[in-house]
Every structure is written in structure tokens, then in C-alpha cells.
Copies of this chain bind each other. A is one copy, B any other.
Amino acid sequence: MRVILDGMGGDLAPAEMVKGAVQAAELIDDEIVIVGEKKQIEKELKKNRYKGDNITIAPASEVITMHDSPVKAIRQKKDSSLVRGLNMLKDGEGDLFVSAGNTGALIVGARLILGRIRGVDRPALASVYPDMKTMEPCLLVDAGASAESKAQNLLEYGLMGSIFMEKAWGRENPRVGLVNLGAEESKGTSVTKDAYQRLKASHLNFIGNVEGRDVPKGVCDVIVCDGFVGNVILKLTEGAALSIFSLVKQAITENLKTKIGGALIRGQLMKMKESFDYEEYGGAPVLGVDGPVMKMHGSSTATAVKNAIIRGIPYARENVVDIIRNEMLDIEVVEEDYE
């Protein structure tokens, strides 16, 4: 395997990207190509005292920033690390592309350069959602690639998420749940009602509707929703968790007695807070584009980069893209049956 890493994407690039690549390179036999400004990357490799032979550099002179308009950036910055990296993946110069860069640009770029998998109407951005009971990662699809979805898109999200979780991350017979405002089949918008029927008619392990209160409890492995709702779920969970932690902190510092109490449970609370850390999972796949792409958080540090590379490799190795392509053919039949 040859992993293509966007060396210039993300708030902490190139330093943390290179450091993460070095950490990953020590753990895997696969090759890593870092795309970006050659001199800067060489400097960072030196800083990290990298002596191995499985990291190479592919030069790219431009950088797409977080402030760039996605479509414009992809069209104009042809020699950016993001555009170059995607082209390398397309041309077979690598097997997986990993980036912490501008999310919109990455999705637009992947659609334009790699193209969609035949049969997929709309690619999706997945995100890891921590099951707060077992602390195992669930996959939420779509995390915001599209603001609006049709019923068929939701079916595709369920299918692609299920294949990824099973093949890439080894989750057996993944449970797929549809976010809705009630558990009953008859609940929801016209789109979710229609999606329910399509998911039910598919061969997926569809467990039915999932209400907001069940989402954090890990009742399913693949959480299906449109990108608007997905965005709200991810950010609200983050916001609520942070607010509650700061309330706990406030409670602990109230007086001497509680301060002593707080000191005694400090280690456990820190461990708990860490388990919410997205860096553990590194990144999540862009699904439905014709090549394996992993998206990292914009503020990813070396740990996230290392984990995204390691957790991304099976996306390429297990041929998830090909499997999705084959399954889309079946889905098309199911859809015709249903209509």
C-alpha cells in the first residue's frame, strides 16, 4: 500500500502532518508519500529525525486554506497539495488519500477529480460518533457533505456506511439506524418515511428509526441522516459534552471539600474526557467517490494523523470502493422493486 498524505492541509500543517506520518511509518510497512512544499516537509522530517525509507515527498507548490472557496480553489490551485494528492490517487500513484484540509474543497475535489462511484447519486462525508456506553466508534453518515437529502441518498448512506464498517473496521453485520423523531415506521418527514421503506427493503441490517436520545447510546453502528441533521448532532454532542464537563469542573471547585473530592477522581475524569477525543479515531471516510479518501479534523495533531493513516489503510486494502460499486447495482434493482 502507498498512502498519500496531504502535507499542507489543516491548521497545524505541515508540522503535525509530518510528525504523524513519521509515527505511522514506524508502525506499518506501507509507504507514505507526503504531498506539499518540498523544503518545508524536508525540514520537518529532519526535525523528527526520520531515518526510515518508507516516507517520500511529492512536491506541490500551492496550499488550499480553510478560507478558500471550495469550487474556486479546486479549479484554480492546480498545484495545491490537495488537488495533486487527489490526482495521484486517481492516476494510481497511491492507494489512499488522507487530508486534514478544507472539508468543502476535499469533497468537491474528490467529486470532480475522482468522480462518483457509478450509481451513487451523492457522495457523503462520514464522521466517527463515540458510543458513550461502550466507547466503540459508530459511523455517522452524512456529516455535512449535502445539506439536503432525498430518500435514495439516505439509503446510499446506510449502504456505504455499512460496507465501510464491516470491511474496513471489521464490525460484524453492522446495525444501521435512521435518525427520526419517533421510533414508529409512520413517523417523520416524507423523506425519512420513504427512506425507512427503502432501508427496510434492502439487505442491510436495518434496525429502524433511532431517536435523538438513543444516538449517544450506541444502539447502531451506522447512524443515517441528512447532512443538516448530521452536522447538528455532531456539534450539539460536542457542545453538550463540553458544557457538562465545565459544570462538573465548576461543581468540583466550589469549596475545599469538593476540591479534595475532585482531586481524588481527577484521573478518572481525565480518562473519560479523553475517550471523547476525536483524535483517537483519526478521521473518517469520504464515501461514494471513486477512490478511498480519509478526512481528518482541521485541527488534527500528529496522533490524529497517525491514526487516520493506520485506520484508513483497510479502506484501500479491503477494496471498499469496489464493493460499494458492486452493491450499488443491487440497490438499483431494489429501488425499482420498491417503486
Contact = CB atoms under 8 A, between A and B. Distances in A.
B248 A257 contact: no
A268 B240 contact: no
Contacts of A179: 232
Contacts of A232: 179, 181, 211-212, 229, 232-233
Contact of A254 (B132, B187, B268): B268
Contacts of A277: none
A300 B23 CA distance: 55
A272 interface: yes
A185 interface: no
A173 interface: no
Q: Which of A229, A261, A263 has the most CB of B within 10 A?
A: A261
Interface string A227-258: 11101111111111111110110011010011
Given A147-B189, A261-B265, A262-B265, 19 more contacts: A132-B243, A133-B243, A148-B189, A179-B232, A211-B232, A212-B237, A212-B238, A212-B239, A216-B236, A216-B240, A228-B229, A236-B240, A237-B240, A251-B269, A252-B268, A258-B265, A260-B264, A261-B262, A261-B263
